[in-house]
Every structure is written in C-alpha cells, then in structure tokens.
Amino acid sequence: MLAINEIETTCERSQGELEHSSEQIAETLDQILRSTRFKDSQQLQTLLRFVVEETIKGNDENLKERMIGIYVFGRRPDYDTTEDPIVRSRMGLLRKRLAQYYEGSAAEQSSVQIVIPNGTYRPVFVSRPITKGKRTQSLLGGTKPAPMSIPVITNIVPAIETPQPTIVTPDSPPAALSPFRRWVGFKAASIAAVLAVVLVGAWWFFLRPQQQEMDALWAPIIKGKQPVYIYTGTMPVYEPESPADEASSPADLYWPIRVPEPPTADLPKMGPNQVFSYGEGMLTGSVYADIRVSAFLSKYNRTPVMRSGPDLPYMDLKGSPLILIGSFDNYWTRVMNESLPFYFDRGFGIRERAGAHRRWHNPLKAEMTPRMMDDYALVFRVMDSKAGAPVLAIAGLSTCGTHAVADFVTDPVQMKALSGIPKSDLLSKNIELVLHTSLVNCAPTSVQVIASKVW
C-alpha cells in the first residue's frame, strides 16, 4: 500500500496512467462504507460517497470547500469557511480512516485504493496489484518453495486392512473419490436439497402469505444498499398568532397547502412578544412512529438514519430511500405531497384533487383533547420522487393519526386491507391511501382504507 507521503508524488501519475471502471470504483466504495472503520460514522460515509461520485461525474466545481459544506453538511451558501472549518476537519479524519482501512485485512482483495491527497478534496484511484498471497511470496524471496520430500515406507502389511491416508504434496493432483464415496456424497446432497425445499415450502405456506402485502409495500424502501433515512417533523415551541398556512377563507380550503421555505439551522428569531424556533418539539405520535418503524426495519437488517428539523441536507436525499413521519409539521411531507391525487389543504384536511373532490377533516384537530374520537391520515409511496429514490410517508392529520398509520404499515394483519391491489402494483407503482382511524384517548382502535389511488 502507498504511504501517505508517497501518495502526494505518485497519485497524479497513477490517475493519468491507470483506468478504473466506475463499477470497480463503486464496488470499492461499497466495501469501504461497510467496513468497521466507516459503518458507524454516517457523516464520513456521506462525505466519502459525495467526493467519489462527483469525481466520477467530472463535477470538479462541487469539490470545493464551500460546495462540500453546502451539499454534505447543510451549511448556508454564504457561510464563513474560516470560522466554520467542518469540511477541513472532517476531511482530515476521512484521510486517516482511509489509511487505517487499507492497512487492515479488509482491503486485501481490493484492486483499487481511494486516496484524497493533502491540499485537495478530489480523490484519485490508485491500482493495488499486490494481493496478500503475492506479498507473502515476495517476503520469502519471490520463489516458489520446493515440495517437501516425504519418505514412503513399503513392504509392511498391517494385521487388519485399514484405509491408508493419501499423502498430498503441493504438486500432486487430488486423489479421486471411490464410487462408494461419490454415491454417499450424492445421497447426502440430495437429502439436504429435499429438506431445504420442504423447509422453504413450509415457510412460504404458513408465514409468507400473511405478510405479502406488507413486504410488497416496503420492498422498494428496504432493498438496495443505500442508507434508509427517516425524517420526522418538528413543531416550534412558540408560534405567531396567525400561522402562514392556516386557511383565511372557505375558498382557501380548495387549494393545496403552501410549501414554505425549508427550515434553517439559524438561531431562534427573537421578538418582543414571541420566540419562533424550528426543531424544539416533536409530537408524541411522531416519536411513536419513529420507534415503531425503526424496530420494523431492524427485522430486515436495516438500521435507519434519523433526521429531524433542519438536520437533513438535500445531498443526503439523493438516491437514498426516505421515510417521512408527520404531516403539517414536516416540510418534506408537504413538498412530496403537493401534487399527488390526495393532498393536505390549508384547512388542516385531506382533499381529493380530481373526481368527486372529497374532503376529510377533523374539527377537533386544533384541540388535541381526549374528546377526539376519530382522525384521518395519508399513506403515500412515490417510486421516483424529487429526491431520486422511493419515498414512503406516514402522516396523520393529528399526532393520533400518525400513531395509527405507523401501526397500520408495520402490521401484516392490518395490511391485508390492501389485498385487493395486485401484488405487481404494490411492488412497482405509486400508491396513495386515505385512512380513517377510530380513537380512544388518542390510541387507535381500528383503521380503515376509505380511498386509494394507484398509478
């Protein structure tokens, strides 16, 4: 492996002389991100993925300190790089982790080494032709060791005939199995194959049909190797007297909710009579949904990346499946929902865009009291979203509705309500559902699908 001081003088030549396919580089990148050095640091994973992918695309203008700060770390376009050295500090840590990775055994079979030279944020891809076996031979002088001479004792007949061990030297071919051993091996393999088929069939017959609708709905989210993001909406501790999205006249109820500017990571806005700040509070139904969905994903060996408030740079969304929790308190839910067949309107309701223009709303939503006996919610899954990856939203009109939807999409029994939708549509098409839930003290007692759209 190249040492750090050697890389600065050799990587430029290697970049010009060595050609690596994007598939080789992508495979190496995936191996690195799954290694013990990187799997516990989502920030370093995002940083490394960004600089490698932008280099492959030839977008050198995005490999500047300011652009990395904006796209990877969510900084404002006018942030002061001298006062905020996050890119430089994380890049130094990234170089150190890469060097440690290539010193370990996990990188022995990698044919490409990703190097980020000092003084630049543009990685280069260095060929690594020496494998572990070749390195061992070079340490022994580069010659193949001669086979050891083993004496064979003859003319000794044992009292009881027993099978003799076969002595295999490095140059001797493997001994052929006897017909009897081949027959035994064939029978054992056949029995194992039959047992495997029986077990798989039993699993399919008794368990799989019970959750096939749920698996089909979630398949686009949990498949692949990209991290799964969960973004949860937050509510300000104090609000202005007249929220910007509240309906001001009956005519406003027919228009989709206005999508506001995304929340920023600035300090709270101070005024004489109010403090208005994002990210200070999270609704209980959203917290429940976070826990429920995270536990559900763990069954598929997927550990989600949790985000809330302004803590979701747009770069993180590109190509990664996204789960949205919450409705009016979630900026990204409103962005993804504004043009769908069923949408959240300004009157805290759900409206049908075409057809009968039906509308569902809860007059007690603003109170959030135990008097709430029912609520409505939206579930939508968009396959090719604005983020370039599948998006699944779990959004009730109130926190109680969000609680109910989280139970619905993770319960195979409740998901049988989607049995009327063809499985091929559940797997590959856009889906939007309007749900009604009955409540007792904000806890759901039943959920029904009252409207749906598949396209």
More confident residue, 208 or 229: 229
> Does residue 394 have a pLDDT over 90?
yes
Look up residue 352 and give its amino acid.
E
Please tell me the distance from the alpha carbon of residue 253 to that of residue 256, in angstroms, as a whole number: 8
The two three-digit tokens of residue 46, written as one number: 């995002």
> Does residue 142 have a pLDDT over 70?
no
Look up residue 42 and give its amino acid.
Q
Residues 400 and 285: beta-carbon distance below 8 Å: yes
pLDDT band at residue 161 under the 50/70/90 scheme: very low
Averaged pLDDT score across all residues of the chain: 76
Q: What is the pLDDT of residue 212?
A: 84
CB atoms within 10 A of CB 127: 14
pLDDT band at residue 8 under the 50/70/90 scheme: very low
> Does residue 131 have a pLDDT over 80?
no
> Does residue 236 have a pLDDT over 60?
yes
Q: What is the pLDDT of residue 22?
A: 83
Q: What is the pLDDT of residue 199?
A: 66
Please tell me the distance from the alpha carbon of residue 42 to that of residue 227, in angstroms, as a whole number: 9
Per-residue pLDDT of 245-299, as tens digits, reads 455 566 666 666 666 565 555 545 545 555 544 445 778 889 999 999 999 999 8
> Does residue 12 have a pLDDT over 80?
no
Q: What is the pLDDT of residue 234?
A: 82
More confident residue, 441 or 6: 441
75 by Cβ neighbours in 10 Å (0-12 / 13-18 / 19+) ranks as buried
Q: What is the pLDDT of residue 253?
A: 62
Q: Which of 38-42, 67-71, 191-195, 404-408 has the highest mean pLDDT?
A: 404-408
> Does residue 168 have a pLDDT over 50?
no
In a 13 Å sphere around the CA of 369, the CA atoms on its Cβ side amount to: 5
Q: What is the pLDDT of residue 252?
A: 60
> Does residue 447 have a pLDDT over 90?
yes
Please tell me the distance from the alpha carbon of residue 314 to that of residue 377, in angstroms, as a whole number: 26
Q: What is the pLDDT of residue 293?
A: 95
Please tell me the distance from the alpha carbon of residue 41 to that of residue 333, in angstroms, as a whole number: 27
Per-residue pLDDT of 209-233, as tens digits, reads 456 888 899 999 988 888 899 999 8
Please tell me the distance from the alpha carbon of residue 175 to that of residue 181, in angstroms, as a whole number: 12
More confident residue, 186 or 232: 232
Q: What is the pLDDT of residue 455?
A: 94
pLDDT band at residue 325 under the 50/70/90 scheme: very high
Per-residue pLDDT of 77-95, as tens digits, reads 888 888 889 999 999 999 9
pTM comes to 0.52
Q: Kindly state the greatest CA–CA separation across the chain.
A: 110
